[in-house]
Amino acid sequence: DPLWSRGLGDVYKRQVGREATDDFYATHFLRTLFMKPAKEIRVGNIIMVDSKPMIVLRSDVNGSSRTGFTYKWKMKNLLTNTPMENVFRGDDKFDVVVLDKKPVTYSYFADPLYVFMDEEYNQYEIEEENLGDALHYLKDGMECEAVFYDGKAISVELPITIARQVVYSEPAVKGNTSGNVLKEAKIENAVEAHRHTVQVPLFVSQDDVIEIDTRTNEYKRVVRNLSLIHISEPTRPERI
């Protein structure tokens, strides 16, 4: 590649401390030259950890704005399929690998695979372990982006916010609108076994539609009229 011969191989060597012989880098390195802090990494992103390409499958956030946040990630090595867990600070930075993406919608569950479809009716099968937190929000026709590696769909990225109906919750407490006291609410899911529980304020009722931040899996607000909700699109990293 002429670009490689113009010195990017040296950039690679300076960044990761070894020669550019790895097949993964030979194919994808030209699109990894930007970094993000841990607080901006989302489930489904591909990042470099110890010079290895890892897909983030789950992210648990702990801490507060006063003490600072930490992020516990469940990851998998794309080259070896080896699982890994680690905890990072919000300002720890990582190289983000920009792989090909395509808008898709969730179609159906074909045990043990989950099938997504693009606008040309091409179907893509993704393993359960690669979906991570996306399993919490499965819904027929759910819009998301499939992430591809070596021509295969390996994960999906959800919109930043998503709306789901509460299918079960304890009765609402009238007059309590503070949101300081929380209770559990189970949300709809196309696969009942994956119905997820979200902490919501006491005033939230069964059958309410709530907005959830998919980065933290946290309740944001009640949406009583679906036509008024604006669902943010997945953030698209700038391609180098």
Structure-model confidence comparison of residues 122 and 177, the more confident one: 122
Strand partners, 108: 115
Q: According to the model, what pLDDT value does residue 181 have?
A: 87
Question: Can you tell me the distance from the alpha carbon of 8 to that of 29, in angstroms, rounded to the nearest whole number?
Answer: 9
- Indicate the range of 115-119, 224-228, 229-233 predicted with least confidence: 229-233
Contact of 78 with 148, CB cutoff 8 Å: no
Contact of 47 with 92, CB cutoff 8 Å: no
What is the pLDDT confidence band of residue 80, given thresholds at 50, 70 and 90?
A: confident
| Average pLDDT of the residues in 57-84 | 88
Q: According to the model, what pLDDT value does residue 20 have?
A: 42
Structure-model confidence comparison of residues 1 and 143, the more confident one: 143
Instruction: Give the helix/strand (H/E) hosting 13.
Output: helix 9-16
Provide the token pair at 6. Answer: 């113009």
What is the pLDDT confidence band of residue 225, given thresholds at 50, 70 and 90?
A: low
Does 21 score more than 70 pLDDT?
no
- Give CA 123 to chain center in angstroms: 20
Most confident of 9-13, 14-18, 88-92, 232-236: 88-92
Q: According to the model, what pLDDT value does residue 175 have?
A: 66
| Average pLDDT of the residues in 42-69 | 88
Structure-model confidence comparison of residues 9 and 140, the more confident one: 140
Instruction: For the chain, count helices (H), then strands (E).
Output: 4, 16
40: three-class secondary structure by DSSP:
helix
Instruction: Give the helix/strand (H/E) hosting 60.
Output: strand 52-64
Residue with tokens 């996306």: 134
What is the pLDDT confidence band of residue 146, given thresholds at 50, 70 and 90?
A: very high
Closest CA to 74 of 55, 93, 88, 58: 58
Does 233 score more than 70 pLDDT?
no
Structure-model confidence comparison of residues 226 and 118, the more confident one: 118
CA dihedral (21, 25, 29, 33) positive or negative: negative
Q: According to the model, what pLDDT value does residue 231 have?
A: 43
Question: Can you tell me the distance from the alpha carbon of 153 to that of 164, in angstroms, rounded to the nearest whole number?
Answer: 25
Closest CA to 190 of 121, 98, 110: 110
Q: According to the model, what pLDDT value does residue 230 have?
A: 44
Structure-model confidence comparison of residues 172 and 127, the more confident one: 127
- Give CA 155 to chain center in angstroms: 9
Cα–Cα distances in Å, from 81 out to 54, 77, 78, 112?
Answer: 9, 5, 6, 17
Question: Can you tell me the distance from the alpha carbon of 108 to that of 125, in angstroms, rounded to the nearest whole number?
Answer: 10
Task: For the chain, give the percent of residues with pLDDT over 70.
Answer: 77
| Average pLDDT of the residues in 143-148 | 92
Q: According to the model, what pLDDT value does residue 179 have?
A: 60
Does 235 score more than 70 pLDDT?
no
136: three-class secondary structure by DSSP:
helix
Q: Average per-residue pLDDT in the chain? A: 80
| Average pLDDT of the residues in 60-78 | 89
